[in-house]
Amino acid sequence: MNKITVHCTVNHKPVSVEIEPNKRLLDMLRVNLGLTSVKEGCSEGECGACTVIYNGEPVTSCCILAGQAEGADIITLEGVSVDGKPDVVQQAFIESGAIQCGFCIPGMILTAEALLMKNPHPTMEQIKEAMSGNLCRCTGYKKIEEAVALAASRM
């Protein structure tokens, strides 16, 4: 097996990563780049905890091979906060009481960020639809949806 070099943009900075082809984007981000906010919950594209913003869209990074990310623009939760301070979406999650165990939260926030980038003033229906690929076992989702609405109201 020959190693490959993946060139892409991660959190607004160009990176090149030398990596075995049998690694997922999830592994590359967590292990090679140390971006451990990206969580592995199900390994089958089901829970959404490993969601990253990939060329502007939320995707599950457990379903992408590292090599496929060549040329991609990737944002993880580490790329959302500024100097360790929460951005408007993160702040809204904190204030709304949307965070319990927090394992789903990186994926939730990134999914919300991707929605608000494209549609800064979504309806509640659009919020629900956008957030429908992220499982949470703690909150019953209400406070999470309220947090996205609160963030949108401050956009």
Q: How far is the CB of 152 from another protein (least distance, A)?
A: 16
Q: How far is the CB of 21 from another protein (least distance, A)?
A: 4
Give every CB contact of residue 35 below 8 A, 6+ residues apart in sequence: 10, 11, 29, 76, 78
Alpha carbon distance 33, 28 (integer Å): 6
Could you tell me the smallest distance in angstroms from the CB atom of residue 114 to another protein? 9
The rounded distance, in Å, linking the Cα atoms of 109 and 1 is: 36
Q: Which residue's CB is nearer to another protein, number 21 or number 120?
A: 21
Going by DSSP bridges, is the β-strand pair 73-75/57-60 parallel, antiparallel, or unpaired? unpaired
Q: Cα(120)–Cα(53) distance, rounded to whole angstroms?
A: 16
CB of 26 to another protein, least distance (A): 9
At closest approach, how far in Å is the CB of 121 from another protein? 18
Between 102 and 120, whose beta carbon lies closer to another protein? 102
Nearer to another protein (CB atom), residue 120 or residue 140? 140
Strand (E) or helix (H) holding 15:
strand 13-19
Looking at the Cβ atoms of 98 and 152, the one nearer to another protein is: 98
Nearer of residues 1 and 14 to another protein, judged by Cβ: 1
Give the max Cα distance, the chain.
Answer: 50
- How many residues in total does the chain contain? 155
CA distance 72 to 79: 15
